[in-house]
Amino acid sequence: MRELSCGRTAKWAWGLAIAALAVSGFGQMPIFKRYYIADVPGLGWTADFYFTHKLHYAAGAVLLFVAFCALARYLKGRQAGRTSRRLTPMGWARVLVLAGLVATGAVRVIKNLPGHHFGRELTMAIDWAHLALALAFLILILVARIMRRPYARGA
């Protein structure tokens, strides 16, 4: 799977970005204060909506950097005949869900810029799609880990 990553540091950055995105993403819902998580010493920030929102943006930038770095290496590696690895169905599912997350997230970022808004239906559709895709992404990770399904095969 290393051909699909971008080095050891990037692998850590990827994992941390996913974790930060998950926490800050769920932190967009008013649940951490309600369910005492923000009361735990050191976790008060989880109830700060603005902080978690900015953290979500920053982690998103890290994730995009690592993803596109890996994409460049993978494509270059295939072009040079250095890898014949192929994504498994589980890998494709993960890539497609991630692409959906990035797309809906990008639309949300655009909506949040000054001078942009999308109206009632589109705002709702984008938010619900992003939330559903985030849940699907986490479920895929869990399924892959529990059932030991690889994301890619080949030499």
Partner 1 sequence: MNRRAFLKGAAAATGLAAAGPAAAVAAPDGPKPRRELATLLDLSRCIGCGACVEACREANDHKKPEPKKPFPAMIPKRVKVEDWSERRDVDDRLTPYNWLYVQDFEVEHDGETVELHMPRRCMHCVNPPCANLCPWGAAYKEDDGAVRINDEICLGGAKCRSVCPWDIPQRQTGVGLYLDLLPSMAGNGVMYKCDRCLGRTDKGELPACIEACPMDVQQIGPRDEIVRKAHELAESMNGYIYGETENGGTNTIYVSPVPFEKLAATFTPGPGRPGLGPVADAMADETTLAAALATAPLAGLAAGLLTVARGVARDLKDDGEGK
Smallest distance from partner 1 to CB 70, Å: 7
Footprint of partner 1 on 44-83 (CB under 8 A): 49-50, 53-54, 57-58, 60-62, 64-73, 76-77, 80, 82-83
Coil vs helix vs strand at 81: coil
Per CB under 8 A, 95 contacts partner 1: no
Instruction: Give yes or no for a contact between 53 and 88, defined as CB atoms under 8 angstroms apart.
Output: no
Give the DSSP letter of residue 148: T
Task: Answer positive or negative: Cα dihedral of 54, 57, 60, 65.
Answer: negative
Among 114, 146, 147, 148, binds partner 1 (CB under 8 A): 114
Amino acid at residue number 40: V
Give the DSSP letter of residue 44: G
Angle between helices 49-79 and 8-26 (to 10 degrees): 150
Per CB under 8 A, 89 contacts partner 1: no
**Interacting residues with partner 1 (CB under 8 A):** 1-3, 6-7, 28-31, 34-36, 49-50, 53-54, 57-58, 60-62, 64-73, 76-77, 80, 82-83, 85, 106, 109-115, 117-120, 123-128, 131, 155
